A and B are shown apart, each in its own frame.
Chain A
Amino acid sequence: MSEILDMGNYGAYVWSSFGLTLIVLVACVIQGRNRHKSVFNDVRTRIRSMEPE
């Protein structure tokens, strides 16, 4: 197991590259979803405010 983590002494470089990539990809998914939700809610609020009661 430690041999796998060690990556021939390059473990820190290899794992940080893969870890960072995973974090950025997940962040992209979350950022996209949050933005969609906030735009959706803004548009809804705007349309509601224009509706005659």
Chain B
Amino acid sequence: MWTFFHKLASPPHFYDLAAKFIPWFAVIGSVFVIYGTVAGLFLAPADYQQGDAFRIIYVHVPSAYLSMMAYMIMAVSAGIGLIWRIKLSHAVAAAAAPLGAWFTFLALMTGSIWGRPMWGTWWEWGDPRLTSELIMLFLYFGYMALRAAIDDTAKADKASAVLALVGAVNIPIIHFSVEWWSSLHQGATLVREGGPAIQTGMLYPLLAMIFGFTFIFGALLLGRVRTEVLFRERRSRWVRKLVLPAGDLG
């Protein structure tokens, strides 16, 4: 068990293994997303209150879920890197940030587009759910800007890890904002007392989308971690072997 983890955390081994997993993740993710999109747009019945506008849920919820999941991956990896000094975990944290920012952007945009016909407004300043999600976007930007400002990778890892961990306090705030304060945003659909508040014809495409998005996110994340590892290991022998064509080894 431990030798497995030890081997996994070794950069060259991870670099090769990730390359094998990426296409599988991409294919599995795409299959579920294609099913979820077709079923969500055309097969699921229209909502009795929101009509066809509710179909935005099929892109909004997976994006919002992954925007938070990416932050947790970033903060936990950064914390592990800080405490146990595992190099690979800092690479994971650094790789998760831009993806998290993209999914946060998607959650905000699709939420805004959904809000216009349902709430009559694109955006409501001071709304707890909307504001805390926007703060998360700025946390991602701050994290990336801080990393970009520090040339020394080890120092950038430490400083940005502290920022990621402090900012993690925002995650429960986002999640519980719709319960703690009054918000325009509707309450939880899936993870709530008494089970999901949605009928199965609407539920299955949503679960497929969440599942599919997660795999696509996984493929994107593994790809970005590989890039990070390649750069961080640029002085090592295995990278030298990797980037120089076979006859060029000297």
Q: Which residues of A contact B (CB under 8 A)?
A: 4, 7-11, 13-14, 16-18, 20-21, 24-25, 27-29, 31-33, 35-36, 39-40, 42-44, 46-48, 51-52
Q: Within the complex, what minimum Cβ distance (angstroms) separates B108 from chain A?
A: 11
Q: Within the complex, what minimum Cβ distance (angstroms) separates A40 from chain B?
A: 6
Question: Interface segment, B139-147, B173-181, B197-205, B224-232?
Answer: B224-232
Q: Are B223 and A44 in contact (CB under 8 A)?
A: no
Question: Interface segment, B46-54, B123-131, B157-165?
Answer: B46-54
Known: A32-B223, A36-B227. Is A20-B53 also a contact (CB below 8 A)? no
List A contacts of B234 (CB < 8 A).
Answer: 43, 46-47
Number of A-B residue pairs with CB-CB distance less than 8 Å in the complex they form: 89
Q: Are B110 and A17 in contact (CB under 8 A)?
A: yes
Does B243 make an interface contact (CB < 8 A)? yes
List A contacts of B109 (CB < 8 A).
Answer: 17, 20
Closest to A53 in B: B250
The distance in angstroms between the C-alpha atoms of A48 and B249, with both chains bound, is 10
Q: Are B116 and A28 in contact (CB under 8 A)?
A: no
Q: Is the interface of A mostly helix, strand, loop or mixed?
A: helix
Known: A14-B56, A28-B99, A46-B234. 19 other contacts (CB 8 A): A7-B52, A8-B52, A9-B51, A10-B55, A10-B117, A13-B117, A14-B53, A17-B110, A17-B113, A20-B106, A20-B109, A20-B113, A21-B106, A27-B102, A28-B102, A32-B223, A44-B243, A47-B239, A51-B250
Q: Are A24 and B105 in contact (CB under 8 A)?
A: yes
Q: Are B114 and A17 in contact (CB under 8 A)?
A: yes
Known: A7-B55, A8-B46, A43-B234. Is A18-B227 also a contact (CB below 8 A)? no
